[in-house]
Amino acid sequence: MSRKFLFLLQFSVVLLAGITASQAYEQIELPDLGDPAGSALSFAEENRIGKEIMQEIRKQRVMVNDLLTQEYINTLGYRLLGKADSTVHDFHFFVIKDDTINAFALPGGYVGFNAGLITVSENENELAAVMAHEISHVTQRHLARAYFHNSRMRGPLLAAMIAGILLGGEVGEAAIVAANAGAQQSQINFTRKNEQEADSIGTALLAKAGYDPYSMATLFEKMYRESRLYGGAPPEFLSTHPMYDSRISDAQLRAQQYPNQSTGDSVLYRVVKARLKVLLHENPIKLARELGRMLQEGQTADEIMDRYAYALALLESEQLQQALEQSNILLQQKPSIHAFHLIRADIDIRAGRDQQALKRIRQLLQERPDDHVITLEYARMLINTGKARQAGKLL
């Protein structure tokens, strides 16, 4: 692994993870950072380095391999990208199987979300705020600027930085802190400018894409409040004041420039939240028990999606008859949600009812021939039932 790759990986994590402090807000208009990036790192180099980093991530098998989750994160990302002024890179969105709250951008247009960020989000506007922020880091080429700004600076504890991006959570955070304990103050100030710029451009993206422009401020405020509630400091490095003291007020001021609007949560957002809740849980039997009790006592915030999560947990714990009963309720309540048909088909296959499962998804595909998630799920089921040749023709 080259020194240049490791050096850039360090800055990918530190500068683009959205975890550093911002300077006090002085004007709505962004400071002019110029464009030194082109003289330090070409677009081709960014793309190559991004691919190398992604290879390291894939080797660890930490990415969520779920078609509906991938469909959702792509839908969210490209809705925002459609309103961006400049998108030189091809963007690639992915989700990491980690229950901690984090998101990061990499060179070459790669944007990653920890699954925990999705499951704890209260609404889709919050998640869109994070996505808009990370997209802005890429479009503004903050990594390339950082490389130019720090061309003489050595990357301390670079192996720890790799752990920081791959391990996440407390281990990853400790690695990042250790690796940057001796960073120069000028680097911190430079990063704050990047954060301010990403916040500002991200807020504009939110508004243009129809999301609530105040959602970024709301998210910052919630994270700051929860960090105080649980006794932990906000995730900042070498700063004498909490990161969100100024970022909350800054974000509120920026949002005032745009119409006060909000979009309701999409069905796919709600589906993916429920799926990830199950995928992240280490004990599906315990989760099924908890969800069953909540449903019985009427303690759910989103009854139909909690029932969907319940059915998934029952399926994962091989409680097929109970899972079948819950899927029947789901299909009676909302037959238009194709995720409910997919789980029913999975239950049928687990129970040895292959033909019923294939018939259900084939009918669904006839209704929605352009839905590539249904197409891929049907192909997967064909392969799993010994019909690989038929699946090949479909693809």
Catalytic positions = 134, 199
The residues facing 104 across adjacent strands are 112
β partners of residue 63: 96
At 76, phi and psi to the nearest 5?
A: -65, -50
Q: Which pair of structure tokens corresponds to residue 383?
A: 């392969």
Amino acid at 21: A
Residue type, 365: L
Task: Give the integer Cα–Cα distance in Å for 315 and 323.
Answer: 6
Residue pair 162/240 in contact by the 8 Å Cβ criterion: no
- Token digits of residue 329: 């309720």
Question: What DSSP state is assigned to residue 121?
Answer: -
How many other CB atoms are there within 10 angstroms of residue 345's CB atom? 24
DSSP H helices in 82-168: 115-120, 124-139, 142-149, 158-167
> Where does residue 63 fall: left (phi above 0), alpha (psi -120 to 50 degrees), or beta otherwise?
beta
Alpha-carbon gap, residue 325 to 351, rounded angstroms: 13
